[in-house]
């Protein structure tokens, strides 16, 4: 009996210790992921002395809108230039610019001649002998599409002859005929308006149904039977829904325009008709690889001329270049649309290994969070019409 009491007391003691440890663990507040992320803001990473004690040699591959010279002052400007100068001034880095071609710049970074390469540099596979690394992308974009803005009449006409309009219209007419036919089935024995035969009864039903859908005040054709009223209520709801869809779709076409609803996937380009692209561009390779019919021009300006003359329905080109051109030239009849495919990532190119890439990536993220990257992009490309 004494041994039993000892075992019971020991059991309660162990349970008490376990409960105490559990309670203490519950008193400790959890460390949230958001708090961990916020704590990163307090980290002040020091710039290595190797960067502060040297003049960073920056190769500049000149091509708007990422890196180009101001016509008046000759100073460099552009998306990549502005971002780099913000980062350099923030960290107290000294640098000098060296104009280069893209190939010379990449080779120079790979061999250590240049610490950094700025310009319109999309991502591409590194070939043997290339020794560099990409920074975080400063701009992400797909293929740009320039198209000639249509008037409301043209947009409406194209919609009225489209398959979408035909389907909605057929659904609406089907509801009206079904409603009129069921009226005659249930009403022709008790309703005097439906005593004169099927076709006249059908005509009365269509007249009444059309009046309800168009919100007209129709006194004739009132249903007399219970089932006739049930069918009338159901068909009125469906017909009104179809009519509202029809009206909303027409309003949407006039507001947004047909283009924005057509180019969501690359296969949608087939519906545009005559597509132009510039020789040697990513757009040409994309159309060729997908076996889409297109015409090739030698220069971007030649493509724009064909677009303005009505010879082309759309012109495919690099999105940042296209947006920059339309933002700096008054062409009110030509609109821009991002196709949403053929996405490219535009970055800086840095030596590998290098302490500089970590500083650049950190500050690009900071600038993105502060929406300063968006401000710089809109300075050269304008605000996107969405």
On the question of pLDDT at 356 being above 60, the answer is: yes
| Residues 160, 125 within the same domain | no
Would you say residue 274 lies in a domain?
yes
Place of tokens 């596979």: 125
The CA distance from 375 to 140, in Å, is 15
Query: Which range, 118-122, 163-167, 382-386, is most confident?
Result: 118-122
| Residues 317, 295 within the same domain | yes
Query: Which range, 27-41, 193-207, 272-286, is most confident?
Result: 272-286
| Cβ density class 74-90: b for 16+ within 10 Å, e for less | eebbbbbbbbbbbbbee
| Residues 300, 241 within the same domain | no
Last residue of one domain, picked from the residues 236, 256, 276: 256
Would you say residue 57 lies in a domain?
yes
Domain that holds residue 365: 49-139+346-381
Place of tokens 């009864």: 201
| Residues 248, 276 within the same domain | no
Would you say residue 39 lies in a domain?
no
> For 276-383, where are the alpha helices, taking DSSP H only?
282-289, 300-308, 319-328, 356-369, 372-381
Mean pLDDT of the chain: 78
Question: How many domains are contained in the chain?
Answer: 3
The CA distance from 66 to 81, in Å, is 7
On the question of pLDDT at 104 being above 80, the answer is: yes
Q: Which residues pair with 276 in a beta bridge?
A: 295, 315
Q: What percent of the chain has pLDDT over 70?
A: 71
CATH number of the CATH domain containing 203: 1.10.287.70
What pTM value is reported for the model? 0.64
On the question of pLDDT at 122 being above 60, the answer is: yes
CATH number of the CATH domain containing 102: 3.40.190.10
The CA distance from 126 to 194, in Å, is 80
Is the torsion defined by CA of 325, 99, 130, 112 positive or negative?
negative
Residue 69 pLDDT level (bands cut at 50, 70, 90)? very high
| Residues 233, 191 within the same domain | yes
| Residues 294, 361 within the same domain | no
Place of tokens 């040697």: 280
On the question of pLDDT at 32 being above 50, the answer is: no
For residue 368, the model assigns a pLDDT of 94
Range scoring the smallest mean pLDDT among 177-181, 253-257, 382-386: 253-257
Query: Which range, 9-23, 71-85, 245-259, 275-289, is most confident?
Result: 71-85
Give the CA distances from residue 370 to residues 138, 167, 366, in Å, rounded to whole numbers and listed in that order: 14, 47, 6
Query: Minimal CA–CA distance to 266: which of 326, 340, 178, 336?
Result: 340
On the question of pLDDT at 314 being above 90, the answer is: no
| Residues 238, 310 within the same domain | no
| Residues 165, 86 within the same domain | no
Query: Minimal CA–CA distance to 146: which of 304, 378, 327, 380?
Result: 304
Last residue of one domain, picked from the residues 233, 256, 279: 256
| Residues 282, 361 within the same domain | no
Range scoring the smallest mean pLDDT among 31-35, 280-284, 344-348: 31-35
On the question of pLDDT at 244 being above 90, the answer is: no
Would you say residue 59 lies in a domain?
yes
On the question of pLDDT at 92 being above 70, the answer is: yes
Q: What percent of the chain has pLDDT over 90?
A: 36
Give the CA distances from residue 34 to residues 30, 38, 276, in Å, rounded to whole numbers and listed in that order: 11, 6, 48
For residue 221, the model assigns a pLDDT of 52
- Cβ distance 79 to 40 under 8 Å? no
Would you say residue 357 lies in a domain?
yes
The CA distance from 304 to 298, in Å, is 11
Last residue of one domain, picked from the residues 205, 235, 256: 256
Mean pLDDT of 79-97: 96
| Residues 166, 250 within the same domain | yes
| Residues 125, 163 within the same domain | no
The CA distance from 87 to 68, in Å, is 18
Would you say residue 23 lies in a domain?
no
Would you say residue 35 lies in a domain?
no
| Residues 361, 328 within the same domain | no
Joined tokens for residue 171: 């659904």
Alpha carbon of residue 96 to chain centroid: 37
For residue 332, the model assigns a pLDDT of 80
Of 184 and 290, more confident: 290
For residue 176, the model assigns a pLDDT of 74
Would you say residue 17 lies in a domain?
no
Question: Is residue 273 packed enough to be buried (19+ CB in 10 Å), middle (13-18) or exposed (0-12)?
Answer: exposed
For residue 223, the model assigns a pLDDT of 65
């Amino acid at each position: 009996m004494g041994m039993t009491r000892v075992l019971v007391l020991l059991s309660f003691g162990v349970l008490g210790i376990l409960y105490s440890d559990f309670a203490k663990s519950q008193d400790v507040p959890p460390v949230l992921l958001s708090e961990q992320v916020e704590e990163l803001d307090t980290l002040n990473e020091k710039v290595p002395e190797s960067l502060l004690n040297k003049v960073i040699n920056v190769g500049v591959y000149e091509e708007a809108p990422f890196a180009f010279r101001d016509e008046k002052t000759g100073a460099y400007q552009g998306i990549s230039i502005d971002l780099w100068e913000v980062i350099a001034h923030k960290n107290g880095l000294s640098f000098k610019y060296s104009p280069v071609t893209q190939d010379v710049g990449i080779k120079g970074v790979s061999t250590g001649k240049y610490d950094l390469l700025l310009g319109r540099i999309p991502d591409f596979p590194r070939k043997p002998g290339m020794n560099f690394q990409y920074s975080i992308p400063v701009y992400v974009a797909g293929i740009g599409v320039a198209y000639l803005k249509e008037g409301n009449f043209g947009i409406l006409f194209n919609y009225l002859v489209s398959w979408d309009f035909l389907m909605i219209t057929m659904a609406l007419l089907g509801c009206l005929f079904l409603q009129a036919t069921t009226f005659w089935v249930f009403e022709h024995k008790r309703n005097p308006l439906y005593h004169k035969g099927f076709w006249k009864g059908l005509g009365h039903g269509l007249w009444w149904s059309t009046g309800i859908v168009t919100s007209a005040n129709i006194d004739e054709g009132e249903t007399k039977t219970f089932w006739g009223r049930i069918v009338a209520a159901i068909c009125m709801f469906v017909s009104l829904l179809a009519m509202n869809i029809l009206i909303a779709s027409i309003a949407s076409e006039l507001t947004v325009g047909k283009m924005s609803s057509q180019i969501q996937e690359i296969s949608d380009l087939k519906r545009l008709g005559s597509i132009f692209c510039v020789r040697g561009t990513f757009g040409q390779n994309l159309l060729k690889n997908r076996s889409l019919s297109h015409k090739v021009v030698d220069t971007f300006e030649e493509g724009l001329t064909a677009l303005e003359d009505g010879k082309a329905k759309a012109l495919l080109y690099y999105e940042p270049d296209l947006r920059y051109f339309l933002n700096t030239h008054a062409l009110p009849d030509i609109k821009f649309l991002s196709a949403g495919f053929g996405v490219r990532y535009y970055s800086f190119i840095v030596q590998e290994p290098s302490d500089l890439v970590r500083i650049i990536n950190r500050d690009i993220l900071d600038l993105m969070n502060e929406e300063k990257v968006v401000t710089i992009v809109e300075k050269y490309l304008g605000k996107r019409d969405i």
